[in-house]
Amino acid sequence: MKTQSTTKGFAILSAAGMVVKLLSLLYVPLLQHYIGEDGYGVYYAAYTVFAFIYIITNTGLSSAISKIVSELIALKNYKDAVRAFKMARLILLVIGTFMSIMMLVLASSMANLTHFPRAYLAIRALAPAVLFTSIASAYRGYFQGRGNMNATAVSQVLEQVINIIFSIVFAAIWSKYGVVYACAGSTIGTTLGALISVIYLMFYFKRNKGFYVDKIQNDENLTRHSNEQLLKKLLNYAVPLTISWGLQNAGNVIDAGNTKGRLLAAGFNDIQGDVKYNYLAKYQVLINVPITIISALCAAVLPLISGAAALKDRNEIKRGIDYAYKTCLLIAIPSAVGLAVLSQPIFNTIFAKYSSGAVLMRYGSVVLVFMALVQIQATILQSIGKLYISTFYIVIGIGAKIALNYILIAKPSINILGAVFGSMVGFLIPLLLNNFIIKRSLKVKYNLILLAIKPLIASALMGVTAYLVQFDVEYVLSFIHKGYFTMMLSTLAAIAAGVFTYLYGLILIGGITSRELQAIPVRVRKFIPKTLLNRIR
């Protein structure tokens, strides 16, 4: 199997991630048509529980596989890399089976814990997906460790397409039985999508003989690892990651219950609370679109920094950190500005008649930048074996978020907007603390504010352009026709104008290098004049 560069791997994963998230956005209005706004709040609560189970079951071992495989391959120890993968795959199969059974048995208790009792059937319907995603995550971690992101990218897109089709079909069929059954039906596609994804990954692994690395000639002087040693390495990497990501998502589960409970305390009834939580759900769905690109960046950078750490190559570690931070800011800042400036038009376009809640995006888009940086920091600390301290900082942030949410959401004048303010503080705290520990541990010099200046300048120009284009196009088109399509066309025009204004502005002020340009799709690069491309170094 051919190893890809970090930039190419990032481009492949980010493209796949964007396709997946855009597809998920497109089917939200259809889903809400069958389950309603309060139903979408119930649906999202069920997914919050599923995400927590998924994280504690899969993420730690999947990332551990990627890290170990990349380290062993850097040392040319190919056979042990494959042995570590097969061992982790077996562990994930066992854990995934156990957690699926637990979800089936405890679905009602989990739903009641989050103050969304109507979510119990949806949680139960999601239980088999935990098993299938566990197996899939083993293969994805292995492929990423090998430096090839193709299988992961294709499997993610395939999984989402199946998810959308069958989620809509079953939501439509079961909607006649009420919201509880409609929400459960809308999760069937997740399980079927995960199953198809696993089948594809297993087939891909079997057909590509390049994965059987025992055929590659090895150096007999290499240090071999016993099964016990490989298991210890897997657990040493996976346990802190599982604790870290598990705590973050446990915070989301607690936050779901806390948010709903405090909305009830503010004087809203149960249905109104579900509708308000639906606003938060839509905000988080949109925030997660650019975060998907950051996650792809993390997946691509992890093997690079881990391999460099295994070889004790400090220059390569520094290069990986610089690339990760700069690319993160180049993506997160314009995404946050664009979502804030076009919050209402985007909500109107994507969610149509269910477009309430855009105010959360207007105030809370900055959370996207904080989230992105914390993800990158966690990846850096994971790569150098210092994740426990990052976990501790995340716990502090979660505690502050829950406390602030408890106070603010119960105020009727603030209500659900309090959850956004809580998130700001909840991510800002670990961001600052992680920044300190990374600089102290690696003794590297960088300034996040200085790194952010050029993206901020280009994003400000982009924001002004996008706002003016959206306003002017909608105004002109309103003379011909007023309605949804006028809003949609003006929003799409504003987004397109904003993207190109940002790229042009960034190139003019020297904010992008030739390496970072490679992450931009070729079809987009064709629209950039050669005079500007020649300015990039």
First to last CA, the chain: 31
The dihedrals phi and psi of 478, each to the nearest 5 degrees, come to -65, -20
Provide the residue type at 164 as one letter: I
Two structure tokens written together for 419: 């959850």
Name the pLDDT band for 130 (thresholds 50, 70, 90): very high
C-alpha R_g of the chain: 23
Name the pLDDT band for 198 (thresholds 50, 70, 90): very high
Which helix or strand (DSSP H or E) is residue 484 part of?
Answer: helix 484-508
Concatenating the DSSP letter of every residue in 249-289 gives: HHHHHHHHHHHHHHHHHTT--HHHHHHHHHHHHHHHHHHHH
d(C-alpha 415, C-alpha 420), whole Å = 10
d(C-alpha 88, C-alpha 238), whole Å = 10
Question: ∠ at Cα 143 (140, 148), nearest 5°?
Answer: 125
List Cβ neighbours of 99 (8 Å cut-off, separation of 6 or more). 53, 56, 57, 130, 131, 134
- Please report where in the chains the tokens 């509708």 appear, as a residue: 275
d(C-alpha 457, C-alpha 460), whole Å = 5
Q: Are 258 and 111 in contact (CB under 8 A)?
A: no
pLDDT at 370: 93
The dihedrals phi and psi of 430, each to the nearest 5 degrees, come to -65, -30
**What does the pLDDT look like over 51-86, one tens digit per residue?**
889 888 887 888 888 888 887 877 777 788 888 888
In three-state form (DSSP H/G/I as H, E/B as E, the rest C), the secondary structure along 402-439 is: HHHHHHHCCCCCCCCHHHHHHHHHHHHHHHHHHHHHHH
Q: Is 51 left (phi over 0), alpha (psi -120 to 50) or beta?
A: alpha
- Please report where in the chains the tokens 């405890």 appear, as a residue: 106
Hey, which of 9-23, 287-301, 401-415 has the most confident mean pLDDT? 401-415
In the DSSP assignment, the letter for residue 213 is G
d(C-alpha 509, C-alpha 527), whole Å = 18
Q: Sign of the CA dihedral 183, 189, 192, 197?
A: negative
Q: Give CA 137 to chain center in angstroms.
A: 15
Provide the residue type at 133 as one letter: T
In the DSSP assignment, the letter for residue 520 is S
d(C-alpha 268, C-alpha 445), whole Å = 50
List Cβ neighbours of 38 (8 Å cut-off, separation of 6 or more). 179, 271, 274, 275, 278
d(C-alpha 512, C-alpha 518), whole Å = 10
With CA atoms as reference, report the closest residue to 351 among 487, 178, 183. 487
d(C-alpha 440, C-alpha 448), whole Å = 15
Which own/partner pairs from 172-179 qualify as long-range (CB within 8 Å, at least 24 positions apart)? 172/34, 175/34, 175/35, 179/35, 179/36, 179/38, 179/39, 179/42, 179/118
Two structure tokens written together for 17: 């991630």
- What's the whole-number mean pLDDT along residues 433-449? 83
77 by DSSP, 3-state: which? coil
In the DSSP assignment, the letter for residue 131 is H
**What does the pLDDT look like over 420-438, one tens digit per residue?**
999 899 999 999 999 888 8
With CA atoms as reference, report the closest residue to 21 among 129, 140, 156. 156
- Listed in sequence order, the DSSP H helices in 55-77 are 60-74
- What's the whole-number mean pLDDT along residues 402-412? 90
**Mean pLDDT across the chain:** 82
Provide the residue type at 401 as one letter: K
d(C-alpha 315, C-alpha 505), whole Å = 30
Percent helix / strand / coil, the chain, rounded to 5: 85, 0, 15
Q: Where are the domains of the chain?
A: 6-212+229-446, 450-533
pLDDT at 354: 67
**Of the candidate ranges 16-25, 75-84, 348-357, the one whose mean pLDDT is the lowest:** 16-25
Q: How many CB atoms lie within 10 A of CB 176?
A: 9
Name the pLDDT band for 141 (thresholds 50, 70, 90): confident
Provide the residue type at 157 as one letter: V
Q: Which residue has the higher pLDDT, 289 or 300?
A: 289
Using the CB atoms, write b or e for 395-405: b if 16+ within 10 Å.
bebbebbbebb
**What does the pLDDT look like over 374-403, one tens digit per residue?**
888 887 887 777 777 877 888 898 889 889
